[in-house]
Structure 1
Amino acid sequence: MDSNALYDKIMDIDPQIRFATIADKHGEIERTGHRQGVTNVLTPDESKKSLQRAIDSWNARSDLSEKIGKGRYVLAEYGKIKRITIPMGDDHLIYLTTDVSADHAKIIDDTLKLL
């Protein structure tokens, strides 16, 4: 599935998904965007830095995968948003932000089903 089609399907999962990015594990963005009408919490530069931190953390965790198994996702909940990182194979990540009240378990499960 190409990045544009996957992005569209992810954004259709739940209206509480605020932002989605599909990037490779080096930080090269293939598709990104905010839901129409959503006020951005971070500036574009801050969003890019946050994505890079998520990628760096994911890559660091992958170093332990032989011992603990491959990661399925990472969820971080903050006061204003939830951030979800999901691997796409060995080379890409899906990076989502949602409203705090979003059903993250459903969003994660439905996103994994797309893969």
Structure 2
Amino acid sequence: MNYTKLCSLVSGLEPAIRGVFVYHFSGELLAGGMLEDVKSYLPNEEITKSIRNTISRWKSRESLYPFLGTGKYSITEYEKIKRITFLLETHVILVISMEVEVDHDLVIKKVLQLIKQKI
């Protein structure tokens, strides 16, 4: 999968997308970032903590896979943003940050189609 191309395509799905990132479970940023002219609400050290927490939650879900199947995505809505996390491959996640008014169901459907195509 071409992570850079995926990030670029996801960035264009909706004007209110703020950032698109691909991370390895080690915490390494593989591709993506904040969109041009968009400032993160989180300081850098909080971004690192947040990603570690996100990765930890995905790892904890793996124990459920034999019973429920592999996780596809999770969504969290805060007062200022929505964040959707998708499992791309074993130990690789896609994280999308967007404004709260975005129709997240539409974004989820489009992203799942892109993942299925293995861009």
Structure 2 runs not aligned, ≥5 long:
none
Q: Deviations over 1:41-83 (max 9, x none)?
A: 1112211211111110011011111112211100001100011
Distance 1:71 1:94 in 2: 13
Structure 1: gaps spanning 5 or more residues: none
The residue correspondences of 1:1-115 to structure 2 (distance < 5 A) are 1-115=1-115
Question: 1 CA distance for matches of 2:59 and 2:53?
Answer: 10
- Give the secondary structure class of the aligned counterpart of 1:13: coil
**TM-score under structure 1 normalisation?**
0.93
Q: Deviations over 1:16-39 (max 9, x none)?
A: 110111011221110131112223
Which consecutive aligned stretches of 4+ in structure 1 deviate over 4 angstroms post-superposition?
Answer: none
Count matched residues.
115
TM-score w.r.t. length of structure 2:
0.90
Identity of aligned residues (%): 30
Partners of 1:53 and 1:11 lie apart in 2 by 23
Deviation at 1:113, TM superposition (A): 0.8
Q: Residues of 1 paired with 2:48 and 2:111: CA distance?
A: 22
- What SS class does the counterpart of residue 37 from structure 1 fall into? coil
- Alpha-carbon distance in 2 for matches of 1:27, 1:112: 22
Distance 1:89 1:39 in 2: 28
Structure 1 vs Structure 2 CA RMSD: 1.1
